[in-house]
């Protein structure tokens, strides 16, 4: 990785993910078996929420976000929200497709955990560090001294009041029984692969058009690719299919995901539930 984009969850994509997740939890209070796909777009002056949900009754999103912001940060903020959600309308759930690239990067992990701690301490910032150019562009109340231990001999520049639009990751705006489940489940799979030191980068492509409740290793398509893999891609693919379950209900029950608040994936108040090193012993190299 040659570029780090890190910020507290007061702003940026992390903040829109929190808002999106909070809206999903509100829908689930009234419609447990809903199908939803929504996205939050923060344009600074106003927020747009768009997408589809089988939930029938419109929600007062402005009031929801105002209350949630106060709950998170103990401060008041007025949100001008444009609600473009199509209620009582199902998103397309005929298939699941994802393509994700993961990196084993201790530096990035350290920066992310620092930003979480800073969020709880009231800091509001975002910065981009380009390692190829030894350059850090900072916005908000972050100081050079705060980052020197991570980026020695870098040039630091302040960015004042940037004009930016941020989009939430769709997975925070989906119901659990959807592609959301597998997007997060692969965090667990790659964690074990990285802990086994099989590679330092991994691209995963996943597809299935089976009914969600019928998904298993027999009706999925999986491809993997890595630039640092010590085995072949085919061996790794076969190992993943042998060692890890792909049956949704098993995954949901193991992590009690019906009751899990995905907010923690952003705030990292506690260790991620996916950081379980329990499959490395089954990854036997031949």
Tell me if 2 sits within 8 A of 65, measured CB to CB. no
Q: What is the pLDDT of residue 269?
A: 87
Over the stretch 162-201, which tens digit does the pLDDT of each residue have? Answer: 888 999 999 999 999 999 999 999 999 999 999 999 999 9
Quickly state the pLDDT bin for 270 (edges 50, 70, 90): confident
Share of the chain above pLDDT 70, in %: 99
Q: What is the pLDDT of residue 56?
A: 96
Q: What is the pLDDT of residue 1?
A: 56
Through-space distance between the first and last CA atoms of the chain, rounded to whole angstroms: 30
Over the stretch 220-230, which tens digit does the pLDDT of each residue have? Answer: 999 999 999 99
Alpha-carbon span 128 to 235, nearest angstrom:
36
Q: What is the pLDDT of residue 11?
A: 86
Residues 6+ apart with CB under 8 A from 216: 210, 246, 247
Alpha helices by DSSP H, listed for the chain, are 12-30, 61-73, 106-120, 144-147, 179-195, 233-243, 248-254, 264-267
DSSP tag of 75: S
DSSP tag of 74: S
Q: What is the pLDDT of residue 161?
A: 79
For range 261-273, the mean pLDDT: 93
Please determine, for residue 286, whether its predicted confidence score (pLDDT) is greater than 80: no
Q: What is the pLDDT of residue 45?
A: 85
Q: Are strands 96-103 and 81-86 parallel, antiparallel or unpaired?
A: unpaired
Please determine, for residue 259, whether its predicted confidence score (pLDDT) is greater than 90: yes
Over the stretch 19-64, which tens digit does the pLDDT of each residue have? Answer: 999 999 999 999 989 999 999 999 988 999 999 999 999 999 999 9
Q: Are strands 155-158 and 135-140 parallel, antiparallel or unpaired?
A: parallel
The CATH number corresponding to 176-282 among 3.30.413.10, 3.30.365.10, 3.30.300.10, 3.10.180.10 equals 3.30.300.10
Q: What is the pLDDT of residue 248?
A: 98
Q: What is the pLDDT of residue 111?
A: 95
Of 153, 16, 178, 150, residue with least CA distance to 81: 16
Count CB neighbours of 26 within 10 A.
Answer: 16
Over the stretch 85-134, which tens digit does the pLDDT of each residue have? Answer: 999 999 999 999 999 999 999 999 999 999 999 999 999 999 999 999 99
């Amino acid at each position: 990785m040659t570029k780090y984009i890190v910020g507290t969850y007061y702003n940026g994509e992390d903040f829109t993910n929190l808002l999106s997740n909070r809206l999903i939890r509100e829908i689930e209070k009234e419609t447990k078996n809903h199908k939803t796909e929504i996205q939050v777009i923060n344009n600074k002056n106003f927020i747009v929420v768009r997408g589809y949900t089988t939930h029938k009754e419109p929600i007062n999103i402005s009031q929801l976000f105002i209350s949630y912001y106060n709950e998170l940060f103990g401060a008041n903020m007025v949100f001008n929200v444009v609600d473009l959600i199509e209620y009582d309308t199902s998103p397309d759930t005929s298939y699941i497709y994802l393509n994700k690239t993961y990196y084993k990067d201790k530096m990035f992990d350290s920066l992310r955990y620092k930003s979480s701690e800073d969020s709880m301490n009231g800091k509001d910032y975002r910065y981009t560090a380009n390692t190829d150019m030894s350059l850090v562009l900072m916005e908000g109340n972050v100081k050079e001294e705060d980052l020197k231990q991570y980026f020695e001999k870098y040039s630091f520049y302040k960015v004042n009041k940037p004009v930016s639009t941020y989009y939430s990751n769709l997975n925070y705006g989906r119901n659990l029984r959807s592609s959301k489940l597998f997007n997060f489940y692969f965090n667990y799979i790659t964690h074990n692969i990285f802990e086994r030191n099989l590679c330092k980068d991994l691209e995963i492509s996943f597809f299935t058009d089976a009914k969600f409740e019928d998904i298993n290793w027999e009706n999925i398509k999986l491809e993997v690719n890595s630039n640092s893999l010590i085995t072949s891609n085919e061996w790794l693919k076969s190992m993943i299919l042998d060692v890890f379950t792909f049956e949704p209900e098993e995954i949901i029950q193991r992590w009690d995901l019906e009751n899990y608040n995905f907010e923690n994936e952003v705030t990292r108040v506690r260790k991620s539930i996916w950081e379980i090193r329990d499959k490395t012993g089954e990854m036997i190299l031949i």
